[in-house]
Amino acid sequence: MPQVLKNAAGATLTLPRHVFVTGFDRPQSLQVVQGGLGAALTRRTPQPLRGSIQGSYRGADYAAAQAQLDALLAFLHFQPIELRLFGATGRYLRVVTEGLSDIDTRQGRLTQFRIPLMALDPLWLGAAGVYGPLNAIGTVNVTNAGNAPAPVTLTVTATSSSRPKVENLTTGQEAELLLTVTTGNTWVMDGQLHSVKRNDVPSNDAAGNAFLVGGFELAPGVNQIRGTNQAGTFGVRLDWVTRWY
């Protein structure tokens, strides 16, 4: 299966056989800890992953080979890069470059290289998930199809709603705005960055400490999501990206 890269400009590049990505196929490290009543618990401890793009280009002369490498480097200028090891569709890893080792082999009309890569978030990403807008106050089930927690972005709108709050009863997390949300205002609560914006203006002071400290995510599988407020009605949309260990 070909290895495919997609850069931040939206361009895709299928790597030839003599250029390949390596280093990202090992599992996440596991840690065994003692839980309550002496139970042994296994916890995943995701760490940044490092790999590389390496290989060689051959041309009619060294300049032609170097031109192929230059084209690859120009493609990599638009970061982060989505690395898809299983073709153009499916799961991907988001990586950035960490330098370049260029081996001068002019006599063989060959340019050899190694470009270190790093994935700050070592989890594989997949399809975007969305639920909503949820317009009624109540409890619904929302499914995270991955096997890792997925941070959620909540987009809140209302005609008038006092202290709208969304809770994940499965994880115990909550996202609450400590004011009245009115017509014409859109509030975006980023559960990964623990940040809030009103009409694209930073507004962290409007959120409760539980969200600013704990964020908001979906656990793997089915999550019970509940919306409540003190008065009025509001709508909320949940957006996330499915993730796998």
Domain boundaries, the chain: 4-122, 126-244
Q: Is 38 left (phi over 0), alpha (psi -120 to 50) or beta?
A: left
pLDDT digits (tens, 9 = 90+) for 156-205: 998 889 999 999 999 999 999 999 999 889 999 999 999 999 999 999 99
The Cβ of residue 129 has, within 10 Å, a number of other Cβ atoms equal to 18
Q: Under a CB-based contact definition with an 8 Å cutoff, are residues 40 and 32 in contact? A: yes
Spell out the alpha helix ranges (H) of 81-221.
209-214
Mean pLDDT of 30-47: 59
Q: Do domains 4-122 and 126-244 have the same CATH topology?
A: no
The Cβ of residue 62 has, within 10 Å, a number of other Cβ atoms equal to 18
Q: Which helix (H) or strand (E) holds 69?
A: helix 62-76
Q: Which CATH number, 2.40.30, 1.10.260, 3.30.1360, 2.30.30, labels domain 4-122?
A: 2.40.30
DSSP state of 28: P
pLDDT digits (tens, 9 = 90+) for 116-141: 999 988 889 998 999 988 776 789 99
pLDDT digits (tens, 9 = 90+) for 206-236: 999 999 999 999 999 999 999 999 888 899 9
The CA angle 182-186-192, to the nearest 5 degrees, is 130
Tell me how far apart the 2 most distant CA atoms of the chain are, in Å.
Answer: 77
Q: What is the pTM of this model?
A: 0.79
| Domain 126-244 of CATH type 3.30.110.40 | no
The Cβ of residue 113 has, within 10 Å, a number of other Cβ atoms equal to 19
